[in-house]
Amino acid sequence: MTDSFYVTTPIYYVNDRPHIGHLYTTTIADVIARHRRQAGLDVFFLTGTDEHAAKVADAAADRGLAPIAWADRNAEIFLSTFGRYGISNDDFIRTTQARHKQKVQRWVGQLLETGDVYLGEYEGWYDPGEEEYVPDARAEELGRKSPISGRALVRKKEKNYFFKLSAYADSLLGLLGERPDLVQPDARRNEVIGRIRDGLNDVPLSRTGTGSWGIEMPGDPDHRIYVWIDALFNYLSAVDTDERRHYWPASVHLIAKDILWFHAVIWPALLLALQRVPGNEWIEIPRQVYAHSFWISEGRKMGKSLGNFIDLERLEEIVSTYGLDALRYYLVSQGPMGVNDADFAAARFDDLYHAELANKLGNLVSRTLHMNAKFADGRVPAPGPAGEPEATLVGVAEAACRSVDEHMARLEVGRALEAALELAAAANRYLEEREPWKAAKDPERRASVPTALHHGCEALRIVAHLLVPFLPATANEIFSRLGLEGAARPERPTRFGSLPIGLETRKGDALFPRIERPEAG
């Protein structure tokens, strides 16, 4: 049986349209999914929308619409945007879908029966923007302000159903201790452990007074299931079918630091509670929750009023100027996968586009295929005897293939992409050393030309292979120019020397044309 791999993104609120943050997490999940598919795994990649938030109902009310009408409209924009941006998700879940709502009600019903969910009263500091309570001690630390929006927390008292999170502190600490990979990066894991040690309160699991927007609490129509509990269950409801159950547990829940607590604490605790119900033995704890950091823009936190917000329009502008793969390149290579925020800067984007994509990769593609047309009749030539420079190039190719996989295993996507491009740089150096354009005119060196062109084409093929997860359109175009349409691709793609001899190659236009820098802003 093929190993399976299940990667998820957060499901996004549909009060507004997607922006760079949503596209970023989804693109990184896409890179991971493509890389795992390339390795032959049975991959399931899920994204979608989180629709029962009060802010969705509020945004709809502002426009005189029913919540579902506004949710439909924005969910459609998320779906079509991800489609246009080449995201290879296998499903798109909406929390307003019956397949999700029914299962959430069933699971919550089970938790009522086990006593993990009970009716109680709660008073505490509440962050309306984030729709979450902030524990008292932490609220004081934060000066009673939202750590996300900076707006004042409000004191709130509610009669609610609660989830007995406090009962799971020891189990959670045990899990985090035994499984260092469960929450990553390490600094985030340590934060989570520290906060659990400070003590866990039970958390509200239902809401009243939100009108009819939300999933009804089983057996109590006055209450709606709290949007965060509803949302977390998406990961499970999407795969709770006979065809898909084998994907569980998720291999990685990719998220950002803003929603770490829900994913690293509340979610595993809910699953531990559910596991106690007969028939739910399959509901294991996810293998990993990986929390990246945030994009800022032009050196400052993104803000609609600051004029530096990278919304859909700005993204479209970038793609129409530089191309989709150039955007992916920037997101992957410069993005905040680690514990530091990353800056989206137009000037840096432009510099890297020219240095890495136009000069390094584009140049390799164009010079290799042009020379092949000129000196080998546009067919991949058979190599002659290999020397030192060939051995060096083969060594770099082998190292690059290993390095991409090693970095990807640690989700170091930027370094993995760098390793792939290192082979492009080495191939450029190789061609400069062999100088086939000069050797072709020199009777004593002419014999080296087919060897040089063969090795150039072969290096290019492996570069394309390594770029598949990161720059899929570019990789496909390189394959096509090398005459490698689908079926012709070698079985062992990372092995140097597996490129069929005699394939017809095609020059084509510049893959990454030079661009006059558009006006900043």
**Both tokens of residue 162?**
């609660």
d(CA 325, CA 420): 15
d(CA 192, CA 188): 6
Minimum gap (Å) between residue 310 Cβ and ligand MSP: 8
Minimum gap (Å) between residue 253 Cβ and ligand MSP: 8
Asked if 293 contacts 320 with a C-beta cutoff of 8 angstroms, the reply is no
d(CA 452, CA 456): 6
Q: How far is CA 482 from the centre of its chain?
A: 30
Asked if 156 contacts 147 with a C-beta cutoff of 8 angstroms, the reply is no
**Both tokens of residue 336?**
């905040």
Asked if 234 contacts 100 with a C-beta cutoff of 8 angstroms, the reply is yes
Minimum gap (Å) between residue 453 Cβ and ligand MSP: 43
Name which of 12 and 470 has its Cβ closer to ligand MSP.
Answer: 12
Minimum gap (Å) between residue 229 Cβ and ligand MSP: 10
Q: Could you give the C-alpha distances from 484 to 69, 179, 487, 498, 505, in angstroms and in order?
A: 47, 43, 7, 12, 9
**CA atoms lying within 13 Å on the CB side of residue 44:** 22
Minimum gap (Å) between residue 306 Cβ and ligand MSP: 13
Name which of 25 and 474 has its Cβ closer to ligand MSP.
Answer: 25
Name which of 162 and 295 has its Cβ closer to ligand MSP.
Answer: 295
Minimum gap (Å) between residue 501 Cβ and ligand MSP: 47
Name which of 94 and 434 has its Cβ closer to ligand MSP.
Answer: 94
Name which of 247 and 295 has its Cβ closer to ligand MSP.
Answer: 295
* Contacting residues toward ligand MSP, per CB under 6 A: 10-13, 21-22, 24-25, 50, 231-232, 234, 255-256, 258-259, 294-295, 302
Minimum gap (Å) between residue 508 Cβ and ligand MSP: 35
Asked if 452 contacts 490 with a C-beta cutoff of 8 angstroms, the reply is no
Asked, as a colleague might, if the bond just before 493 is cis with ω within 30 of 0, I would say no
Name which of 256 and 449 has its Cβ closer to ligand MSP.
Answer: 256
DSSP symbol at 487: G
Minimum gap (Å) between residue 251 Cβ and ligand MSP: 16
d(CA 36, CA 48): 20
Name which of 108 and 256 has its Cβ closer to ligand MSP.
Answer: 256
Minimum gap (Å) between residue 179 Cβ and ligand MSP: 21
Q: Which residues of 397-432 are buried (b: 16+ CB within 10 A; e: fewer)?
A: beebbebbbebbeebbbbbbbbbbbbbbbbbbebbe
Minimum gap (Å) between residue 295 Cβ and ligand MSP: 4
Q: Which residues contact 364 (CB under 8 A, 6 or more apart)?
A: 424, 427, 428, 431, 456, 459, 460, 463
Name which of 95 and 451 has its Cβ closer to ligand MSP.
Answer: 95
Q: Could you give the C-alpha distances from 133 to 129, 153, 170, 232, 489, in angstroms and in order?
A: 11, 9, 22, 16, 54
Asked if 464 contacts 499 with a C-beta cutoff of 8 angstroms, the reply is no
Name which of 238 and 393 has its Cβ closer to ligand MSP.
Answer: 238
d(CA 270, CA 162): 12
Number of Cβ within a 10 Å radius of residue 476: 16
> What residue type is assigned to position 128 of the chain?
P
Minimum gap (Å) between residue 446 Cβ and ligand MSP: 54
Q: Could you give the C-alpha distances from 506 to 330, 363, 510, in angstroms and in order?
A: 28, 15, 12
Minimum gap (Å) between residue 333 Cβ and ligand MSP: 15
Name which of 19 and 35 has its Cβ closer to ligand MSP.
Answer: 19
**Both tokens of residue 237?**
């409801």
Minimum gap (Å) between residue 411 Cβ and ligand MSP: 14
Residue in the shown chain whose Cβ atom is closest to ligand MSP: 21
Asked if 456 contacts 423 with a C-beta cutoff of 8 angstroms, the reply is no
Name which of 257 and 495 has its Cβ closer to ligand MSP.
Answer: 257
Name which of 250 and 401 has its Cβ closer to ligand MSP.
Answer: 250
Name which of 227 and 459 has its Cβ closer to ligand MSP.
Answer: 227
